[in-house]
Amino acid sequence: MMDLPFKTTKPVLEWRRIGDKILVIYDYMDFPKNAPARNLFAYTESGELLWQGEAFSTLSTDASVSIISEIPLVVSNFAGYAVTYDIETGRVVDARFTK
């Protein structure tokens, strides 16, 4: 995978360019352990933060792991959910248990 077009301070699990946005999933281990890891972020090409993905639950295992689908934006979650996000706002649209 190519390097992100901007510098980050956290380790990255995955990133993708989707339209005019750069979606980044940071390593959830770099977030507090007793709360959902809101580790999905959207940026502009130059690295300006657009949004931080909403948590869909209060589970401490609520952490993004990988991008399943770009359109719609569906992200695999550590707790076993496929979470659909509004790509414009980072709000949770749907969450389905998959395990």
Q: Domain residues of the chain, as ranges?
A: 12-97
pLDDT tens digits, residue range 78-99?
A: 999 999 999 999 999 999 999 7
pLDDT tens digits, residue range 47-76?
A: 999 999 999 999 888 999 999 999 999 999
Which CATH number applies to 12-97: 3.30.530.20, 3.90.1200.10, 2.40.10.480, 2.40.50.100? 2.40.10.480
Q: Pull the structure tokens for residue 85.
A: 């996000």
Cβ(37)–Cβ(10) below 8 Å:
no
Q: Please, which pLDDT band fits residue 5 given cuts at 50, 70 and 90?
A: very high
pLDDT tens digits, residue range 12-46?
A: 999 999 999 999 999 999 999 999 999 999 999 99
Strand 73-77 relative to strand 12-18: parallel, antiparallel, unpaired? unpaired
Q: Does residue 1 have a pLDDT over 80?
A: no
Q: What is the pTM of this model?
A: 0.95
User: How would you classify residue 57: left for phi > 0, otherwise alpha for psi between -120 and 50, otherwise beta?
Assistant: beta
Q: Which of 58, 99, 53 is nearest to 74 (CA)?
A: 53
